[in-house]
Structure 1
């Protein structure tokens, strides 16, 4: 069930490369490259980095029954790279620390912004000999890129375009049950460093149970829907076990606390450490500093979002657009009012409503 991105890629007739990218603070990230065997002059292809969201992994771009964006782009002449952020099941290595060590888990989204994204971007540029790469994010993957462009504006010249699928930046109006329940353990998550929802073995067992009969698939989908939101009309029941075996895929307690903090603060900001002295040391302030969306100067940003997204509420999308002082490359609301957060990348209609539009945007570059 949990066969991994490389095996999924090979099963679809493509070839796979596994790259290990070391960050400046010692984490080793697993980045998967999809290789189209029918393309001989690979150096001519435009590289595109696909970045998953919170508690997900690179498989999210590969497992949809009809809308797998990773394969779609590779088949249409793009050099596709799939990111895995520190702390998920594929990126549990460090040059000095073991993932059994609590120090390994001492990171929030800030470190992904400061270390992980630059490391992957520079690595891909070096491997492909290209100065520009496309970037497609989902959910937290977009928060990371918006913050990177706000704090390191030179990447504006590198990331062309930035396509934000479910552009999560403001979370004040989110209605997700998972976010609401998480508030009860928010102090615990802030106070201690540990892995969060990295439960591969029990998840694999549960996924097998879900595929034992149709009624089991229906029940498992309903449970998944309550936690994450995913309309049955967009859910392929025959792939229930595949979906469930991949979400959740692990994160750190601080990463989780950071997400919950954003929903409380309703502004993009750095992590609020348990001890105010840590904030003082890092930010020269007792409170975390904001990521200034008004500082972005890129005109290569496209927004793709859904009306019924429990994580990325339409009011929060409007708030983001109010703070962005640049003209958007695209501003697209999926024309189905029932779509939620994950349908945008895993729904049976993602190919028609999302992937084709993404391809059109990339083709402009």
Structure 2
């Protein structure tokens, strides 16, 4: 009887474990669709659509974007408390992104994953190519009648800051607003005991990637290197190719910083006090750099005796009360914004 859930309270069974995204959605009573998007530089992206069975598709579309070495499934792994399911249950048309190179988006028009050229991208290219293609596709599929609300976590915020700062006209056309959960940008104040080891880690990055390659979702070496660069220099800047190549690409020996002051859409940020990767100081720095008329910064949860870490934005026993409640207030406010352009 040890392995029988009827007789042993320590024995459990979760049908979502090792299941497919489609089956996970069905397990919790939601409709699931798989869509495919091609970027201008040839990458094939897989995006998921999750809808409540009893809800109309004529609802506000929301795009969720995951962090590094993660995937869209990260928004579906907390059962009924999962962000994708919570918002779908509240009537929203949920779209879940998978950036280039992760488990679900490995296709390319002419490059194989065994070709090093395939992996020659960082989060810069994800923001520059993946996001615009995804926004355009979703808007086309939803009938061109609604702008999108974007919700990102960690690197899912990084890529949106790049997109909204470098392609602000495109962002104004397709986005109602951007909600950033634990946004990774300059990372100047990230709290970690291994900061002195960063120069060494940067040299050992190829060995580190062997370990990372066994994670369920993939990413590129260049993404990791770019984040290490931001941690070392404490600036939110383009990829550093070395002074010679920087001169060719940027007409400067140092990489330019992303122009956060050019962002014009509403930006609302949430941070946790126990987040060792994205500190309050870094989020406050972003807030002060932004000049958009509508912006906010808020700690989660409000009860400062309880402190969210980086993962709690996806996995937390009381996430509905601590995060989803203030999140829904912002979503509802953005939802009623005038969509005409």
Query: TM-score, normalized by length of structure 1?
Result: 0.80
CA distance in 1, matches of 2:149, 2:196: 34
Name stretches of at least 5 consecutive residues in structure 1 with no aligned partner: 201-245
CA distance in 2, matches of 1:160, 1:345: 23
- What is the CA distance between 1:65 and its match in structure 2? 4.4
Match of 2:167 in 1: 152
Contact (CA 8 Å) 1:151, 1:291: kept in 2 or not? yes
Structure 1 residues 32, 195: closer, same or farther in 2, change over 3 A? farther
* SS of equivalent to 1:56: coil
* SS of equivalent to 1:21: strand
Match of 2:234 in 1: 266
Deviations 1:177-202 (A, max 9, x none): 6777554231354x99x7871215xx
Match of 1:294 in 2: 261
Structure 1 residues 318, 351: closer, same or farther in 2, change over 3 A? same
- What is the CA distance between 1:129 and its match in structure 2? 1.7
Write the mapping of 1:1-365 to structure 2, written as runs, cut at 5 A: 1-39=17-55, 41-42=56-57, 44-65=58-79, 67-130=81-144, 131-154=146-169, 155-176=171-192, 183-189=199-205, 197-200=212-215, 249-273=217-241, 275-298=242-265, 300-334=266-300, 335=302, 336=304, 337-364=306-333, 365=335
CA distance in 2, matches of 1:164, 1:271: 22
Query: TM-score, normalized by length of structure 2?
Result: 0.85
CA distance in 2, matches of 1:75, 1:158: 24
Q: Give RMSD over aligned pairs.
A: 2.2
Structure 1 residues 61, 178: closer, same or farther in 2, change over 3 A? farther
CA distance in 2, matches of 1:76, 1:13: 13
- Residues paired across the two proteins, number: 312
Contact (CA 8 Å) 2:263, 2:291: kept in 1 or not? yes
* SS of equivalent to 2:33: strand
* SS of equivalent to 2:81: coil
Structure 1 residues 354, 24: closer, same or farther in 2, change over 3 A? same
CA distance in 2, matches of 1:135, 1:268: 20
Q: Which of 1 and 2 has higher RCO (CA within 8 Å, sep 6+)?
A: 1
CA distance in 2, matches of 1:60, 1:133: 20
Deviations 1:161-217 (A, max 9, x none): 21111122220111246777554231354x99x7871215xxxxxxxxxxxxxxxxx
* SS of equivalent to 1:343: helix
CA distance in 2, matches of 1:3, 1:198: 20
Q: Which has the higher helix share?
A: 1
Contact (CA 8 Å) 1:198, 1:250: kept in 2 or not? yes
- What is the CA distance between 1:13 and its match in structure 2? 1.3
